[in-house]
Structure 1
Amino acid sequence: MLKVFYLAQDLADPAVRRRVLMLKAGGARVTLAGFRRGANALAAIEGIDPIELGTTRDGRFGQRIAAVAKACLSLPAKLRAVDRPDVIIARNLDMLAVANKAVGMFGGFVPVVYECLDIHRLLLRDDVAGRAVRASEAYLGRNARLLITSSPAFVEHYFRPLSGLETPVMLLENKVLELGERGDPPLATVTTSRPDEPWRIGWFGALRCRKSLALLSAFSRRMDGRFKIVLRGRPAYSEFDDFDGFVRDEPHMTFHGPYRSPEDLGAIYDEVDFTWAIDFFEEGQNSRWLLPNRLYEGCRFGRVPIAMRGTETARFLAVRGLGFLLDEAEPDNLVSLVGDVDAGRYADASDRVRACNSDTWVFGRNDCENLVRRLSAITSTAPEPAAPLSPVRQNEGGLS
């Protein structure tokens, strides 16, 4: 059984929970350690008691550097009872520094996998600070055996031209995790429409975009009750002046808190018609390149995505002829795009989503097993030869 030491930047992040569940479902034994940025009981994983390395603050890069340095000093005590792993996975740059320290503690020769699913704006700055952070990433990742990322645009726009990393790449998209045995029915498919009720746009997951919040507010007020906005997930409170107060004062917007993925997805997507697959956080950079969790979640249940033209999400949808693409981030444009939608137009758009092969949206048990096999392949003491940074894509039904 492959022994994985997984280092997470935020133990309360639902995406960390999903990744650990994937590794366990693939047959790995996982030890989880990392920092905590807040409470989230829904991120708990049965059978996993994480090792807490400290507390970090969202958006506070300097504080995070200090926390990482402190954690590295405390590792000998924190990891005294941890068996030597076969592989260490470091989620984000913070944890790559901790992983390098841990390799030395475990006696060396433990391969490291660098998992990077967002490109922080500091990495993209064209100044001394940006060059210093990129140099740190290249140095810390110099011996990494594998880079895991979630969008080909990250490779195209950052890892290949800017990062300085020379590491094989695995593209691991943010698909919905479904662990039913072969022959089991999949997660329930939700209903299609609600006659004579307002249309509902669901913005779920990591809520960190002030521009989206303002745009959806202005749009819903313009539509005067014909559209409702439903928010769920974890707000990045550091990015808003007063998130709770703002939503409370909105007549057509509600916030329902965090949810469990994948367990709650069928129920929460049953309450909406559209998925807000737009994010202006770090506009023009990370937000333009990512393929968000909510894209896969909503489409898995036949919900119609709304994406911003010119982004990787829009490119992904356009190739498949799916969704509604917004030209300008203005209320008038959103009104023109979906304001006059009727049952027939919506049903046609939803049917196109539902017609896609489920593997487009779903990561199953067989995929988990293939992931663990891929990780097992790098555990030999001989490092893999460096290859050009082109992503190893997922095939239909598995990883290549």
Structure 2
Amino acid sequence: MTLNVLYLAHDLADAAIRRRVLTLKAGGAGVTVAGFKRGANVLADEHDVTTTVLGRTADARFAQRIGAVVGARMTLRRRLAAIRRPDVIIARNLETLALAGQAASLFGGDIPVVYECLDIHRLLLDEGVKGRLMRQAQRYFGSRASLLITSSPAFVENFFKPRSGLDMPVLLLENKVLALKPELVSTFPAPRPPKADRPWRIGWFGAIRCRKSLDILTEFAARMDGKVEIVLRGRPAHSEFDDFHATVNTAPHVEFHGAYRNPEDLAAIYQDVHFTWAIDFFEEGLNSSWLLPNRLYEGGLHGAVPIALSGTETGRFVGNRDIGVTIDSAMPETLAALFDGMTEARYDDLASRLAGVERNQWVTGPAECRALVARLAALRPSVSSPADVPAVSTVQS
């Protein structure tokens, strides 16, 4: 029997929402999505996925987002009236977790709720009144959940275990590349150093929200005077920059090529660069130190050598596998020294080490999709213990 999933999405413009929906569908589930809009709906072309808009939210406007959630709670019965009764509800981030219990009660209170949290918002870590209120809200709404899905072991060790107050099983799902046709990613791309007199290219792809990274990379590119180029692709968080486009357009040796489709465009965009910028300072010392970003897996799969910061979870991931470059400080002068010493031989060695990693480190294939849906199906009250359900993913650090 098909598992029917209601996916509550915090941002219908987030490419990761589409990836999770496609993962569930590939695992055999039927998926209905209800969520908030901040931009173009990434599910607009998925004609077999019904999408309901619960309201509009905006980046970096937390009070506005609370208002949108309150508004959605008041109209939830009407908005979900035409939706088939789900077997499981997945709530992405705290704002939709606040709706999940009410949604479950509308369909029948025995529907299991799954809390999916792939970033720890800085307010959840605040030591003041706001932080305490946020954690209390998470505990209150999370008390209804049967399973927590998160993407990095450092999130569990640094927040969920010691500080969240949540008590539920944890499923670690890394931000791997969805590869529904494994034959398309079975061959690792060969090392591709630049031709004579051509620059090294560093790709920073995905959610572009780190102002400090942009400042570092633009200054570094100017300092290298054409020996290194910075290539940006994805969705900028304009609230984090004074004027993103003006900064990029006036920066020498920096390119921005806009949005791309994930996973369809990944091979082309990563094989256009030599290195992946896998450093983030958006919530420095907190979430940024604990995450394992999408670009780490995307670049790893497609042969772009990661550049990571020592002392972070990404740095440990790279260092433990000896598959990239880790630096102690991400300063323009540090990067300049690194690339002044970058030779074709060194790059070939780095790329070859990356090529030695098993493909399943980077990809979620059909078997993993089915295992995820089986794990979710086991949450239903009519289903016995999930002890015999295969694990979806094992995260190493």
TM-score interval, smaller chain: over 0.9
Distance 1:307 1:329 in 2: 9
Shift of 1:66: 0.5
Shift of 1:381: 5.8
TM-score (norm 2): 0.94
Distance 2:138 2:382 in 1: 23
Q: Choose 375-384 or 300-309, whichever is displaced more.
A: 375-384
Query: For residue 194 of structure 1, what is the aligned residue in structure 2?
Result: 194
Query: For residue 97 of structure 2, what is the aligned residue in structure 1?
Result: 96
Whether the 8 Å contact between 2:305 and 2:354 is mirrored in structure 1 is yes
Deviation digits for residues 145-182 of structure 1 (CA, Å, limit 9, x no counterpart): 1000000000000000000000100000000000016x
Distance 2:306 2:44 in 1: 26
Query: For residue 155 of structure 2, what is the aligned residue in structure 1?
Result: 154
Structure 1 residues 15-34: aligned runs within 5 Å: 15-34=16-35
C-alpha distance 252-40 of structure 1, shift in aligned 2 (>3 A): farther
Q: Choose 122-131 or 187-196, whichever is displaced more.
A: 187-196
Distance 2:94 2:65 in 1: 11
Give the % identical residues: 56
Distance 2:142 2:266 in 1: 35
Instruction: Letter of the 1:52 partner, please give it.
Output: V
Query: For residue 393 of structure 2, what is the aligned residue in structure 1?
Result: 394
- SS of the aligned residue for 1:145 comes to strand
Shift of 1:382: 8.7
Query: For residue 260 of structure 1, what is the aligned residue in structure 2?
Result: 261
Shift of 1:190: 4.2
C-alpha distance 42-166 of structure 1, shift in aligned 2 (>3 A): closer
Question: Do structure 1's residue 110 and structure 2's residue 111 form an aligned pair?
Answer: yes
Shift of 1:187: 6.8
Distance 1:270 1:138 in 2: 43
Count of aligned positions = 388
Query: For residue 353 of structure 1, what is the aligned residue in structure 2?
Result: 354
Distance 1:333 1:46 in 2: 48
Instruction: Letter of the 2:194 partner, please give it.
Output: R
List alignment gaps of at least 5 residues for structure 1.
386-391
Query: For residue 239 of structure 1, what is the aligned residue in structure 2?
Result: 240
Deviation digits for residues 58-104 of structure 1 (CA, Å, limit 9, x no counterpart): 11111001000101111111111111100000000000011111011
Instruction: Letter of the 1:2 partner, please give it.
Output: L
Structure 1 residues 46-195: aligned runs within 5 Å: 46-180=47-181, 184-186=183-185, 189-190=188-189, 192-195=192-195
Distance 1:146 1:15 in 2: 19
Shift of 1:189: 4.5
Distance 1:349 1:109 in 2: 51
Query: For residue 35 of structure 1, what is the aligned residue in structure 2?
Result: 36
Shift of 1:329: 2.4
Distance 1:81 1:144 in 2: 24
Whether the 8 Å contact between 1:42 and 1:260 is mirrored in structure 2 is no
Instruction: Letter of the 2:299 partner, please give it.
Output: G
Distance 1:41 1:58 in 2: 17
Whether the 8 Å contact between 2:18 and 2:42 is mirrored in structure 1 is no
Shift of 1:20: 0.2
Whether the 8 Å contact between 1:154 and 1:290 is mirrored in structure 2 is yes
Deviation digits for residues 216-236 of structure 1 (CA, Å, limit 9, x no counterpart): 011111111000000000000
Distance 1:80 1:115 in 2: 24
Whether the 8 Å contact between 1:109 and 1:381 is mirrored in structure 2 is no
Whether the 8 Å contact between 2:3 and 2:28 is mirrored in structure 1 is yes
Query: For residue 46 of structure 2, what is the aligned residue in structure 1?
Result: 45
- SS of the aligned residue for 1:394 comes to coil
Q: CA RMSD in A?
A: 1.8
Query: For residue 330 of structure 1, what is the aligned residue in structure 2?
Result: 331
Whether the 8 Å contact between 1:232 and 1:258 is mirrored in structure 2 is yes
Q: Choose 44-53 or 258-267, whichever is displaced more.
A: 44-53
Distance 1:46 1:306 in 2: 38
Distance 1:43 1:274 in 2: 32
Whether the 8 Å contact between 1:86 and 1:379 is mirrored in structure 2 is yes
Distance 2:119 2:248 in 1: 27
Distance 1:338 1:132 in 2: 46
